[in-house]
Chains A and B, each alone.
Chain A
């Protein structure tokens, strides 16, 4: 963003003001996340930087909150983590299968009422979570699935499929349908064509949709608050209770782990997006 030599002074000043504003906004976006790291290593129980931490005194730092997270007897983080992963994995599998198949139908040019159906399928993403929570709770209570893993998994499939539908339809929009016709003309049946030709080509979209579905489920708290019993507690529920009652450094230890997890997911998603753009020949 170097300025040309002939730029007049007041535009030059304006340009630096603009860059400063941008820097401030980026700082506002990212900085809050980095408060959590150092405080999770605090040796004391308070959520402020102690004097020792400001002097970088090694004694002021400790891993006790991480120990508490893993071995603490009062903390159900172990159960919560297990539940969260089980629920998120099954919800992701369900969302990916249902969403991908639906996206295949939706990107066919023969699909009737495309706009209306798309609007219905995407709606769980748009409707406020509290309303989804109430509605899904009424349904699950009626069919006897409240306070079960199955109920929560189904709820998260509802919330996760819109992301899969969106990412996979986006991938399919640049899809060259002549390759499937070529496969068919060479005698391949539709299932075989899908598995051998279509799926490998749209895989980046499918996986990134799956990542969205996973994160949605793993981070979801509103609907689970309605559905979960004591046995079904998840990481977000534990964090929610913790944040409401007392903000303890153990929560920050958990939060640090979650930030690391989301960084990993972000990197994967970014790599996939770029690969997908390369495969579809979009040069940006």
Chain B
């Protein structure tokens, strides 16, 4: 008897299968409608703006729109020798329009990003161009400053013609595209970003290692102690977890300062002399110490929740079968805690790699991370497209770890408190 010959029907006479599918679909829509408001909210206010950052980081329309005639006439120029008269003429008219709109300052800032030295010659050109006569603009512009007669500067302008660019990403790893279109490293003494990336990875890595080394014993203790003691000790983990980040950073600033308690203690036990107190703040040490303490609870909690599920009888069994406590621990207990280790390490690493506040306050110049650089470009240099590019480079790293975390631990398994 095949299913086609005898279908089960509901009371309405509809095949059961169809009816079930309908109900299923209705439930799906219901569930989705519940999630929809938050999903829409997050997508509009959060996911799209991150996409907007991507647009900003590659967007180079500003200069393209400022010098439309110039770039049009440059299409025929091969870039070998100085551009022909028509390019100079087009540039002169574009420039006059910019002066009218008072936007020539923006142009000079933008061109200066591409090649240093544009700022002063554009200012000079603005002054001199008022008295320009009609015709032969090439001679007149070139006589303003000798850099205007330098083909390098015209090539630099030409490089800004495309509406999109990946220059900001190259700059983020201390590279640039030279006049011939080759991608090369910036001179060694001006490489700042690679050092920062490496330092960020280094600090995040070691903070994760320190957190792991410190969290493992106490998570084990918390998981094996009787409830009434472990609850009390758990408070010690949770209190810092709930306390304001700034408060905890402030307490480290007090402790680590030169006249602070840690230094007092070192002097007291004779580790350092009174006039030779250690510099523990405004350098890497400050970042390490403060970040380790602040991120420690994020390592303890996942470890604890995994260790809690390991039955103590397993260790006893390991021992009774002839293993020493160390062997039993290493062969039985430790492998069982690996999921917790993975969860904790990934979480701490993700958080550490994007840290901003603590390094900014106790890190000084040698302890700051990539986030501080992003903030610097957002607030001080106002090079927002560069800040966006750096942010997205950091984000792509974080997303890889996030994906890994989701694969290994499952994002809905994050434990809070």
A residues adjacent to B (C-beta < 8 A): 1, 11, 18-19, 21-22, 25-26, 28-30, 32-33, 35-36, 39, 46-49, 98-99, 101-102, 104-106, 108, 110-112, 115, 117-124, 126-132, 134-139, 142, 154-155, 157-158, 161, 163, 165-167, 169-170, 208, 212, 215, 218-219, 221-222, 225-226, 236, 239-240, 243-244, 247, 251-252, 255, 258-259, 262-263, 265-266, 269-270, 273, 284
Q: Is B306 an interface residue (CB 8 A)?
A: no
Q: Are B217 and A18 in contact (CB under 8 A)?
A: yes
Flag B211-255 by CB within 8 Å of A: 1 or 0 each.
Answer: 000110110010011010000010111111111111111111111
Q: With A115-B406, A128-B371 as known contacts, state yes or no: A258 contacts B387, CB within 8 Å.
A: no
Task: Report chain B residues within 8 Å CB of A165.
Answer: 38
23 contacts between A and B (CB under 8 A): A1-B221, A30-B236, A32-B255, A35-B254, A47-B254, A48-B257, A106-B35, A111-B35, A117-B35, A124-B46, A126-B402, A128-B353, A128-B355, A135-B46, A138-B49, A155-B45, A157-B41, A165-B38, A221-B245, A247-B254, A258-B247, A262-B239, A270-B238
Q: With contacts A158-B45, A222-B356, A252-B254 known, what are 19 further pairs, Cβ within 8 A?
A: A25-B296, A29-B240, A101-B37, A105-B30, A106-B31, A108-B34, A126-B402, A127-B354, A128-B371, A128-B394, A128-B398, A134-B378, A135-B52, A136-B45, A139-B45, A139-B46, A166-B416, A215-B242, A255-B244
Select from chain B the residue with minimum beta-carbon distance to A94. Answer: B41
Q: With A33-B239, A258-B244 as known contacts, state yes or no: A161 contacts B35, CB within 8 Å.
A: no
Task: Report chain A residues within 8 Å CB of B261.
Answer: 35, 49
Q: Which of A119, A157, A259 contacts B411 (CB 8 A)?
A: A119
Q: Is B53 an interface residue (CB 8 A)?
A: yes
Q: Are A134 and B38 in contact (CB under 8 A)?
A: no
Chain B: residues with Cβ within 8 Å of the partner, total of: 92
> CA–CA, A124 to B43, complex, Å?
11
Q: Which of A99, A134, A221 contacts B387 (CB 8 A)?
A: A134
> CA–CA, A105 to B355, complex, Å?
33
Majority-rule SS of B interface residues: helix
Q: Are A236 and B416 in contact (CB under 8 A)?
A: no
Distance to closest chain A CB from B317 (angstroms): 16
Q: Are B31 and A219 in contact (CB under 8 A)?
A: no
Distance to closest chain A CB from B145 (angstroms): 37
Distance to closest chain B CB from A211 (angstroms): 9
Q: With A126-B402, A284-B308 as known contacts, state yes or no: A102 contacts B39, CB within 8 Å.
A: yes
Q: Which of B247, B259, B357 contacts A222 (CB 8 A)?
A: B357
Flag B379-417 by CB within 8 Å of A: 1 or 0 each.
Answer: 000001001100110110010001001100001101011
